[in-house]
Structure formats: C-alpha cells, structure tokens
C-alpha cells in the first residue's frame, strides 16, 4: 500500500510541476520584447569608420634590490606603445 501511495504522490507532484512550468498565455513574451525578426531601425551610425589597433609591448623587469633596500622579485610589465585610433569620414562626428 505504501508503495502505491508514493507512486501516486510522485505522479501528482509531477503533474502539478508541469502545469505550473508551462503557461501558454505568456509564451513568447521575452522573444517579443527582444524584437527578434523586426527590421532594424535606421540609426545614426557613421559609415566606413576605421579603427587602428593599439600596440602593446611586454617587457620583463629583472629581479633586483631597490635603492630603499627592498627586494623586487621581477615581473612582466605591459607598455602601451601606440594608442587605438578611430577615423571617421568627413562630416560625421561619431554620434
């Protein structure tokens, strides 16, 4: 008898969980909000913008004793040699 009670209890809980997890009235709300399938609106995006990637160099500072008497164990240091640049066509300010 106890075995059948457990089977019935699990069946009822499963049926309740499935009915709560599926709500067809709210199906697709997130997809509608996200605007999937909508045509993109015309935006003020400049055309033919070019970007040059900055250059970063990596240098190793060797282990040494500093003038204060502290010991520096050595480390990698990243140096920015050339910054990233954005180039916009004439008449467009990038906004």
Place 70 in a pLDDT band, splitting at 50, 70 and 90: very high
| Most confident region among 7-11, 20-24, 61-65 by mean pLDDT | 61-65
Using the predicted structure, report yes or no on whether residue 73 has a pLDDT greater than 80: yes
Higher pLDDT, 55 or 37: 55
H/E/C letters for each residue in the chain? CHHHHHHHHHHHHHHHHHHHHCCHHHCCHHHHHHCCCCCCCCCCCCCCCEEECCEEEEEEECCEECCCCCEECCEEEEEEEECCEEECCCCCCCC
Share of the chain above pLDDT 90, in %: 28
């Amino acid at each position: 008898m106890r075995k059948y009670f457990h089977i019935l209890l699990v069946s009822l809980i499963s049926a309740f969980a499935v009915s709560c997890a599926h709500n067809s009235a709210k199906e697709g709300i997130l997809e509608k909000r996200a605007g999937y399938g909508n045509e993109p609106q015309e935006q003020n995006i400049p055309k033919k913008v070019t970007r040059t990637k900055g250059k970063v160099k990596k240098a190793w500072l060797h282990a040494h004793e500093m003038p204060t008497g502290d010991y520096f164990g050595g480390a990698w240091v990243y140096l920015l040699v050339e910054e990233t640049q954005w180039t916009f066509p004439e008449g467009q300010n990038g906004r």
